[in-house]
A and B are shown apart, each in its own frame.
Chain A
């Protein structure tokens, strides 16, 4: 292979990874923002995997039946919110463990989605419009890479708003307080459970947008293998982002890009280690955890009430 074509291939790979980062990363972005909100309030919702599948189905069904893609997106978000609310309410009962409940909800959400979504496997639904940010360029690769999901900018704004709200608003402070010291929250007269239920519900709502992006943009149809563990990955992603919404954005792009790297390399003829590239983000997260943790202090930015086994 000559020098020039190798360089050209590298360029193609980079572009494909960039495009893939946004395309694959959009659901990651929403799910991780949802999980971030939930975890900030002091609970882990492993059920977001179920939320993602259920909301993808609901969004697809809504868009298909109503003919309007935005009705679908809305329906997906609401369905996600409702399932997450169930998690929030269940975990408010005494002695109910949030991790076990999350796994039960993962199964329930997937089951509901598969059950209700059976008739939706074949048809085509209207898709979320894409924004052509690459129209200035003649190169079809650049155009393809910059053709982005209309939900992506919403996610970016949401990340910024969440970061601002956590730092500057009363609500943000209450959520963080419930997550860092439930005693303090109680002492100030806030119901920790109510805060957590609302944070979990809203988190599910946001994650539902990610589900809508899965079924209505990329891959863009409803099938049962749509979310292969992306809701669980979000938990890793939030840790990687150290519970900061804006860092969630970069982490989602990184995870999305890593997911796109394998297929991109495959398309230029490098087939080796496809699955190892896919596993890179986890290895990276784990390494960062090992690097930054020490027995003497807990992970920076982690809500104090997290990881408490009840």
Chain B
């Protein structure tokens, strides 16, 4: 009960929840969109970190114009950095056959190494003594709060991006083609779809989401790139995407729920005097249960099983998977 109260009880906790939900929506997109194209990308953390770096780094190259144009420019830079990073994983997969799950995980570490190198080396603000940071963004281009609430515009960006991704996937020809490639790459090639290009585009779009998440975190919350950006938002995004069944529209409520988990933590800590780690335990159990509940979905009705059986399978190797489960049951 207190958990619910801490997450959604009053205006203050709602604000806290929504603030935490914004980056999760975007990092979840980094999993969901490539998944629709048949790729399992888990390197959102890397794209997020580089996005944050790009956002903080653009003012080093030239002074961005003040006002909304400057904000748009730094956010665009962060999205571009993330897009390029994840698209690289897509290129490796399509042209070299490197498993994208593994490659994106490795590239995440590379990105964090690069990030730390630049933040503690060439781009370090000499005034940040015990916590290396880049020079802070000018106040004019920081992302502001929505009206009088303590929620920054990143939430709107996140929600709008999710809706756009949903519309693109389910309402446009290009999105449909991407889903065909994800469903069956061979069939897609047979009907003449440029599968390489579609997959890489999907990766770039997902990466742009995660990069934007990093940019928003920098522009709205931290105001400079430093180690507090690396808190595993990319990994939580994977969970969000899985719980939302990789549906961009479902990501918005799921991310808000997950944000609520985080927000409730601090309340539990204050009210019940529990150590902060108890929230982590609770979260862990909740995630495990949510994921495990997938297994019972099929038992709810026969129609689901029929649908699952007739669902197009990603690759010949996957054809063994449903069989395997029936064999085990």
Contact = CB atoms under 8 A, between A and B. Distances in A.
B40 A96 contact: no
A235 to B, nearest CB: 7
Given A104-B288, A108-B287, A309-B318, A236 B105 contact: yes
A273 B113 CA distance: 9
Contacts of A274: 117, 120
A202 interface: no
Query: For the side of the interface on B, what is the size category?
Result: 35 or more
A239 B279 CA distance: 33
B106 A96 contact: no
Contacts of A223: none
Nearest to A236: B106
Given A96-B291, A100-B242, A308 B317 contact: yes
A78 to B, nearest CB: 19
Interface residues of A, number: 65
Interface string A74-113: 0000000000001000101111110111011111111110
Interface stretch (A58-66, A145-153, A204-212, A279-287): A279-287
Given A107-B287, A278-B113, A100 B239 contact: yes
Contacts of A108: 280-281, 283-285, 287-288
Given A93-B294, A233-B109, A279-B114, A295 B239 contact: no
Contact of B324 (A192, A236, A282): A192
Contact of A310 (B110, B114, B290, B321): B321
Interface stretch (B51-59, B79-87, B89-97, B158-166): B89-97
Contacts of A236: 102, 105-106, 109
For chain A, what secondary structure do more than half of its interface residues adopt (helix, strand, loop), or is it mixed?
helix
B197 to A, nearest CB: 15
B268 interface: no
Nearest to A284: B106
Contacts of A114: 275-277, 280
Interface in B72-126: 92, 94-99, 101-103, 105-107, 109-110, 112-114, 116-117, 120-121
A249 interface: no
A105 B320 CA distance: 26
A115 interface: yes
A178 B286 CA distance: 30
B113 A282 contact: yes
A115 B291 contact: no
A182 B298 CA distance: 22
Nearest to A117: B277
Interface string B13-57: 000000000000000000000010010101000000000000000
Contacts, number: 183
Interface in B258-305: 275-285, 287-288, 290-292, 294-295, 297-298
Nearest to B97: A295
B295 A105 contact: no
A186 B327 contact: yes
B202 to A, nearest CB: 15
B320 A307 contact: no
A210 B124 CA distance: 35
A47 to B, nearest CB: 10
Contact of B102 (A104, A235, A310): A235
A100 B238 contact: yes
Contacts of B284: 50, 104-105, 107-112
B277 to A, nearest CB: 3
A118 B275 contact: yes
B121 A282 contact: no
A163 interface: no
A251 B277 CA distance: 33
Interface stretch (A3-11, A23-31, A296-304): A296-304
B310 interface: no
Contact of B96 (A182, A285, A293, A305): A293
A232 B281 contact: no
B325 interface: yes
B235 interface: yes
Contacts of A276: 113-114, 117
A1 interface: no
Interface of B: 35, 38, 40, 42, 92, 94-99, 101-103, 105-107, 109-110, 112-114, 116-117, 120-121, 235, 238-239, 242, 275-285, 287-288, 290-292, 294-295, 297-298, 308, 314-315, 317-318, 320-321, 323-325, 327-329
24 contacts: A46-B42, A90-B288, A90-B291, A90-B292, A94-B329, A96-B291, A100-B239, A103-B238, A104-B239, A108-B287, A108-B288, A109-B284, A111-B277, A186-B324, A192-B327, A274-B117, A275-B113, A278-B113, A282-B109, A289-B98, A293-B97, A295-B94, A308-B315, A308-B321
Given A105-B288, A111-B284, A308-B318, 20 more contacts: A44-B101, A100-B242, A101-B288, A104-B290, A111-B277, A112-B281, A112-B284, A114-B275, A115-B278, A115-B281, A182-B320, A233-B109, A278-B113, A279-B110, A279-B114, A285-B106, A286-B107, A295-B97, A307-B99, A310-B321
Q: List the 8 closest A-B pairs by CB distance, nearest first.
A: A108-B284, A279-B113, A111-B280, A114-B277, A93-B295, A104-B287, A275-B116, A94-B325
